[in-house]
Amino acid sequence: MADQKIKKIIIVGAGPSGLILAILLAQSDIPVLLLDAALVPNDNPRAAHYAPSSVRELRRCGVLAEVQQEGFIPEGVCWRKPDGEVLGGIKSDPSNPDSMVCLPLDRLILILLRRLGELANAELRWGWNVVGVKGTEEGDREASVTAVVKGGEKVVEKADYVVGCDGANSSIRKCLFGDSYPGETLSSQIIATNVFYDFHRFQYWDSQFIIHPTDWYMAAKITPSGLWRVTYGDIPGLTTEQYLERQEMRFEQILPGHPKKGEYRVVNRSPYKLQQRCVGQMRKGRVLLAADAAHLCNPFGGMGLTGGIADISTLFDCLLAIHTSLTTDAILDKYSEVRIKKWKEVIDPSSRANFRRIWDEEEGVRREREEYLERCRTMESNVELRKVIFASTYMLDEDMTPYFTKPTS
């Protein structure tokens, strides 16, 4: 049988997706070199909630117990009016081993970094800005990256495969496809903040969406010590400075108790544009893309990293099957096809619907919102419906074994 063993994989980007892939590969005796342009991990307010499908991957990485211990399992999510009235909600089931877990991404990254440090097959280099990639032609027998390191020196590293996990502005994606990232930037503007404020005083659940045409927002507790993520909307077209200046006024307008400066403590804030985008191909020769480097969606409903980790899960299964001669590297074309289909059929439509549900008063959206909230109310007393809805959270997973083709000798 042909020797398919993988000798080395280069992963570009030590964000959550790159780190999880590196851990899964290194644990399976596949050597990895992880390169990141930054000198320290990113600590902007981003992901905090990890869905059941991601929980399973954290378990496969050997970090779930630590994540659960440092984070917590939210009691549930609800939708409410600005006056506080609850319109419907979904309670979580802490007895389920895959229950959603909550921990700010910067802390998850530290746990993943510690785990990676325990693995002999993994090497991580900070301050390696990857600017070029080769190995994109069919028939190429190896891949390589060119990185600019401290002092401006250019260094080339070679491997069997290169995986671009380098986020929304991926240089690997740009090397493959230029500046084109198919999709759209939504007109809405969001500001994500991390804030200490006692929402439980207003009978707030651990997570909620407040429905209003202009004063919509999400408020979710993200640490057991009472740090909350408040992500709210503002008028489009202002500068970052203007959004940050308006934050106190917006909090007083929209939050329960209409707090003034000094009645809460903001520890982090960052305006974001919302993107719905996906590449047309996640593989070119020996170069692959995953997670934000390959697709983006708005954060309402937490489909961003959830979709990214689902890519990593599928990609790892494929690479391991190549390494152990269960299939040929043609499986990587299937990886690309399957993950793009999941984005088009699940991630894009459901993340758009999650977002529009909290502000759009258009007739069709109002109807969908009513039906959705009615389903939530029914679920409270209907165990069977709860099971069906919970099972649907694994929709992003794909069993790749039916696509395996035995290598010929």
Radius of gyration of the chain (CA): 22
Query: Does position 274 bind ligand FAD by CB under 6 A?
Result: no
Task: Identify the three-state secondary structure at position 228.
Answer: strand
**From residue 230 to residue 269, what is the string marking binding to ligand FAD with x (rule CB under 6 A)?**
-x--------------------------------------
Query: Does position 312 bind ligand FAD by CB under 6 A?
Result: no
Question: In Å, how far from its chain's centre is CA 257?
Answer: 32
List 295's β-bridge partners, or say none.
278
Query: Does position 163 bind ligand FAD by CB under 6 A?
Result: no
Taking CB under 6 A as the criterion, the residue among 9, 24, 37, 108 binding ligand FAD is 37
Among 38-46, 60-68, 93-101, 327-335, which window interacts with ligand FAD (CB under 6 A)? 38-46
Helix axes 304-323, 52-60, angle to 10 degrees: 40
Nearest to 290 by CA among 162, 397, 125, 146: 162
- Sign of the CA dihedral running 231, 236, 239, 241: negative
Burial of 66 (0-12, 13-18, 19+ CB in 10 A): middle
Query: Does position 308 bind ligand FAD by CB under 6 A?
Result: yes
Q: Which is nearer to ligand FAD, 292 or 329 (CB)?
A: 292
Q: Which is nearer to ligand FAD, 306 or 327 (CB)?
A: 306
Task: Identify the three-state secondary structure at position 193.
Answer: strand
Q: Which is nearer to ligand FAD, 165 or 373 (CB)?
A: 165
Contacts of residue 382, defined as CB under 8 A and 6 or more positions apart, other chains included, come to none
Taking CB under 6 A as the criterion, the residue among 165, 315, 318, 319 binding ligand FAD is 165
Q: How many CA atoms lie within 13 A of 373 on its CB side?
A: 18
Query: Does position 52 bind ligand FAD by CB under 6 A?
Result: no
Report, in Å, the least distance between residue 167 CB and ligand FAD: 3
Question: What residues from 120 to 149 belong to the interface with ligand FAD (CB under 6 A)?
Answer: 128-130
Taking CB under 6 A as the criterion, the residue among 15, 88, 104, 256 binding ligand FAD is 15
Helix axes 16-27, 52-60, angle to 10 degrees: 40
**From residue 327 to residue 366, what is the string marking binding to ligand FAD with x (rule CB under 6 A)?**
----------------------------------------
Query: Does position 98 bind ligand FAD by CB under 6 A?
Result: no
Contacts of residue 95, defined as CB under 8 A and 6 or more positions apart, other chains included, come to none
Query: Does position 13 bind ligand FAD by CB under 6 A?
Result: yes
Report, in Å, the least distance between residue 404 CB and ligand FAD: 26
Q: Which is nearer to ligand FAD, 138 or 153 (CB)?
A: 153
Cα dist from 205 to 98, 202, 390, whole Å: 20, 9, 19
Taking CB under 6 A as the criterion, the residue among 5, 7, 38, 387 binding ligand FAD is 38
List 231's β-bridge partners, or say none.
192, 218
Per CB under 6 A, residues contacting ligand FAD are 12-18, 35-38, 42, 45-49, 105, 128-130, 165-167, 171, 192, 231, 272, 291-292, 299, 302, 304-306, 308
